[in-house]
């Protein structure tokens, strides 16, 4: 995982804030029937605990009665001595084949950090044993796709979230589930696992992971939380699916919060793949929030995206992208949920704010790709992408004398797509003193980019010179600042005293204010931290108040 000086400072800032006695942040985004901001068990008459680990009731994950677990159950996984991994695969199915749960009756799978080191319990896919492969025991829990007589998707995930064998999707998605505080790793091609057959009389054999195998694979999941996990070494880090344009096969209401996601995707050429089909995170759901995650590099030789999404109601806020991903964000058309997603009002508005992009851009890649990749463009994203109060830093020398850009910022596929871009920092700094930083291009493709009060390095251009797309528009270029390429930022990317970023932000868009998506948080792993305010918003992801002032005076 890439660890830059700025990235270390950001983690320090989040940790310092988290260690202070500060009020928890409440959600400022209002969504209908959305319980996922907390894994709530307040409606449970009692909570049933299933403890796994040395000296506990269960010493292995496969010993748990997973097929019977439901809302109000909590699985607590404890580290092994020397934090040895659990080499096991699990399937979580609460809320589908069992009595449905509710917003106040979550099922939780919780890693219990080591009390001394803080290390998270490890679930490792290296030669892992499937949940139901204890030889000679009755196998009551297996994963088949939609009651298919042929096992289909069982080798695509280390932690699986979906229904059980013999149940079709009419039983609905797995739901009201929270996966927390686990280190989930190493399920990737051409690795193997210990594969059990359905009948106990059949021998167990070795199975092989697919290129698409994911650390966390949710076939269909509603009201799902993935929180504070370390997710790495897989084909996809996270994969959340919607299928067949069917409500009972629609993933929805998802919160992905506080995770570290890195070293996923596959190198080009591996298994015949091109290195672009697997990603750090790949999701399709109706209503989804990414917040306070840290995205790191993809695997060496891979071109996967940090965040690839086909959802409606997408909010991306307070994350750190310290990465070399193919695209930092690919925001594309729905393919599984189809009309249930592209017909949803939330499909036409996307909110990206308060994030830090401290990145090394690969060739021919974008900060934000907005549109689609289907044969027909009729279902492409073509509403408004709100992109505000983010900070982008790209370090490296411009290695060409041509106007060919090294950094593509916004690639919109359709002419009627709009990017509302305000109060951001787009900063390229050379690695060699006296050299020119990498060339940025604001608009690469179609659509309209409306700018207001961004700080932009002087090497930037409105369009890729000589390659404009007919009808593409960039408005507000004259509102940019940054003529001397010195935004005066501190090492942790907060504005320094006297910085032109201070109190220089434009008013938020009307659509942002009405949605409740104000930039109130702090990027990094410190989920719940509130951005300080002196009544005048600064440009970028952070306010410029000194850290000691933040800790001393608290937050608004």
List pLDDT tens digits, range 306-319. Answer: 999 999 999 999 99
Q: How many CA atoms lie within 13 A of 93 on its CB side?
A: 27
Is the model more confident about 44 or about 196?
Answer: 44
Return the percentage of the chain with pLDDT > 90, whole number: 58
Task: Give whichever of 87-96, 211-220, 424-433, 436-445 has the largest mean pLDDT.
Answer: 211-220
**Residue 551 confidence (pLDDT):** 46
pLDDT over 50 (residue 32): no
Lookup: tokens for 410: 């916004």
Mean pLDDT score, 428-436: 80
**Residue 99 confidence (pLDDT):** 65
**Residue 398 confidence (pLDDT):** 75
**Residue 131 confidence (pLDDT):** 65
Burial class (CB in 10 A: 0-12, 13-18, 19+), 376: exposed
**Residue 133 confidence (pLDDT):** 42
Nearest one of 131, 186, 191, 181 to 161, comparing CA atoms: 131
**Residue 173 confidence (pLDDT):** 81
CA atoms of 316 and 350, how far apart (whole Å)? 8
Residue 535: strand, helix, or coil: coil
Confidence of residue 330 (pLDDT cuts 50, 70, 90): very high
Residue 465: strand, helix, or coil: coil
Lookup: tokens for 431: 């690695």
**Residue 421 confidence (pLDDT):** 98
H or E segment and range at residue 415: none
Confidence of residue 153 (pLDDT cuts 50, 70, 90): low
Residues 6+ apart with CB under 8 A from 212: 156, 235, 236, 239, 277, 278
Is the model more confident about 100 or about 531?
Answer: 531
Residue 221: strand, helix, or coil: strand
The lowest-confidence range among 172-181, 192-201, 322-331 is 192-201
Mean pLDDT score, 258-283: 95
Confidence of residue 23 (pLDDT cuts 50, 70, 90): very low
Mean pLDDT score, 507-524: 95
pLDDT over 70 (residue 553): no
Is the model more confident about 397 or about 80?
Answer: 80
- Contact in structure between 95 and 89 (CB atoms under 8 Å): no
Confidence of residue 26 (pLDDT cuts 50, 70, 90): very low
Nearest one of 304, 360, 310, 364 to 337, comparing CA atoms: 310
pLDDT over 50 (residue 348): yes
Residues 6+ apart with CB under 8 A from 65: 50
pLDDT over 80 (residue 197): no
pLDDT over 60 (residue 532): yes
- Residues, the chain, total? 556
pLDDT over 70 (residue 206): yes
What region, left, alpha or beta, does residue 151 occupy, with left being phi > 0 and alpha being psi -120 to 50 degrees? beta
pLDDT over 50 (residue 555): no
**Residue 164 confidence (pLDDT):** 66
**Residue 430 confidence (pLDDT):** 81
Q: Evaluate the CA torsion angle 40, 42, 47, 53 in order and state its sign.
A: positive
pLDDT tens, position by position, 380-421 = 999 999 999 999 998 877 766 656 677 889 999 999 999 999
Confidence of residue 188 (pLDDT cuts 50, 70, 90): very high
Is the model more confident about 347 or about 248?
Answer: 347
Pairing of strands 205-208, 192-195: antiparallel
**Residue 8 confidence (pLDDT):** 36
Q: Where does 258-311 show beta strands of DSSP type E?
A: 260-262, 281-283, 286-291, 294-295, 307-309
pLDDT over 70 (residue 167): no
Residues 6+ apart with CB under 8 A from 462: 441, 442, 443, 474, 477
The lowest-confidence range among 70-84, 111-125, 131-145, 224-238 is 131-145
CA atoms of 178 and 107, how far apart (whole Å)? 6
> Using CA atoms in the order 533, 539, 542, 544, what is the torsion angle rounded to 10 degrees?
-60
pTM for this predicted structure: 0.90
Confidence of residue 177 (pLDDT cuts 50, 70, 90): very high
**Residue 249 confidence (pLDDT):** 87
> Using CA atoms in the order 461, 463, 465, 467, what is the torsion angle rounded to 10 degrees?
160
| Eight-state DSSP code of residue 86 | B
pLDDT over 50 (residue 200): no
Taking every pair of Cα atoms in the chain, the longest distance, rounded to a whole number of angstroms, is 75
**Residue 147 confidence (pLDDT):** 54
Average pLDDT of every residue of the chain: 84
**Residue 452 confidence (pLDDT):** 97
CA atoms of 237 and 282, how far apart (whole Å)? 8
Is the model more confident about 141 or about 119?
Answer: 119
- CB under 8 A, 24+ apart: contacts of 33-39: 33/103, 33/253, 34/253, 34/287, 35/103, 35/104, 35/176, 35/223, 35/253, 36/223, 36/224, 36/225, 36/253, 36/254, 36/255, 36/289, 37/255, 39/106, 39/108, 39/178, 39/180, 39/225, 39/227
H or E segment and range at residue 183: strand 183-185
> Rounded to an integer, what is the distance from CA 61 to the centroid of its chain?
26
Rg of the chain taking only CA atoms, in angstroms: 23
**Residue 282 confidence (pLDDT):** 98
pLDDT over 50 (residue 265): yes
**Residue 526 confidence (pLDDT):** 78
């Amino acid at each position: 995982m890439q660890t830059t000086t700025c990235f270390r400072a950001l983690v320090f800032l989040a940790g310092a804030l988290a260690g202070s006695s500060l009020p928890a942040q409440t959600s400022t985004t209002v969504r209908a029937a959305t319980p996922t901001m907390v894994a709530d068990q307040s409606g449970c008459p009692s909570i049933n605990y299933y403890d796994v680990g040395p000296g506990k009731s269960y010493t292995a994950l496969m010993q748990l009665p997973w097929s019977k677990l439901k809302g109000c159950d909590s699985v607590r996984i404890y580290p092994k001595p020397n934090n040895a991994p659990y080499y096991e695969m699990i399937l979580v199915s609460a809320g589908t084949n069992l009595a449905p749960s509710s917003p106040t009756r979550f099922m939780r799978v919780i890693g219990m950090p080591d009390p001394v080191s803080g290390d998270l319990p490890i679930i490792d896919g290296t030669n892992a044993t499937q949940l139901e492969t204890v030889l000679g025991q009755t196998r009551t829990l297996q994963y088949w796709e939609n009651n298919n007589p042929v096992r289909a998707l069982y080798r695509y995930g280390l932690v699986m979230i979906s229904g059980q064998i013999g149940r079709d999707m009419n039983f609905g998605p797995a739901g009201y589930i929270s996966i927390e505080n686990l280190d989930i790793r190493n399920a990737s091609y051409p690795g193997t696992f210990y594969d059990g057959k359905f009948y106990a009389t059949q021998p167990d054999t070795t199975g092989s992971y697919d290129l698409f195998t994911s650390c966390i694979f949710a076939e269909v999941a509603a009201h799902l939380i993935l929180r504070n996990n370390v997710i790495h070494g897989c084909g996809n880090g996270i994969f959340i699916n919607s299928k067949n344009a069917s409500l009972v096969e629609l993933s929805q209401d998802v919160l992905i919060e506080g995770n570290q996601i890195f070293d996923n995707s596959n190198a080009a050429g591996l298994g015949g793949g091109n290195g672009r089909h697997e990603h750090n995170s790949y999701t399709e759901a109706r209503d989804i929030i990414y917040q306070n995650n840290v995205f790191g590099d993809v695997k060496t030789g891979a071109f996967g995206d940090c965040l690839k999404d086909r959802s409606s109601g997408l909010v991306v806020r307070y994350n750190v992208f310290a990465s070399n991903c193919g695209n930092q964000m690919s925001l594309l058309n729905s393919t599984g949920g189809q009309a249930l997603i592209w017909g949803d009002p939330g499909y036409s508005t996307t909110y990206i704010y308060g994030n830090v992009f401290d990145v090394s851009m690969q060739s021919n890649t974008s900060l934000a790709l907005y549109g689609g990749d289907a044969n027909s463009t009729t279902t492409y994203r073509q509403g408004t992408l709100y992109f505000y109060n983010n900070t982008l830093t790209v370090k490296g020398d411009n290695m060409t004398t041509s106007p060919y850009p090294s950094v593509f910022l916004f690639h919109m596929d359709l002419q009627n797509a709009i990017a509302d871009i305000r109060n951001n920092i787009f900063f390229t700094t050379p690695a060699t003193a006296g050299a020119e930083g990498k060339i940025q291009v604001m608009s690469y493709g179609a659509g309209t980019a409306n700018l207001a009060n961004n700080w932009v390095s002087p090497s930037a251009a409105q369009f890729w010179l000589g390659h404009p797309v007919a009808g593409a528009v960039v408005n507000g270029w004259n509102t940019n600042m940054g003529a001397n390429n010195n935004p005066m930022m501190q090492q942790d990317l907060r504005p320094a005293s006297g910085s032109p970023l201070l109190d220089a932000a434009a008013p938020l868009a009307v659509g942002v204010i009405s949605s409740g998506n104000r930039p109130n948080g702090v990027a990094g792993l410190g989920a719940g931290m509130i951005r300080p305010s002196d009544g005048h918003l600064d440009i970028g992801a952070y306010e410029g108040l000194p850290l000691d002032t933040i800790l001393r005076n608290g937050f608004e």
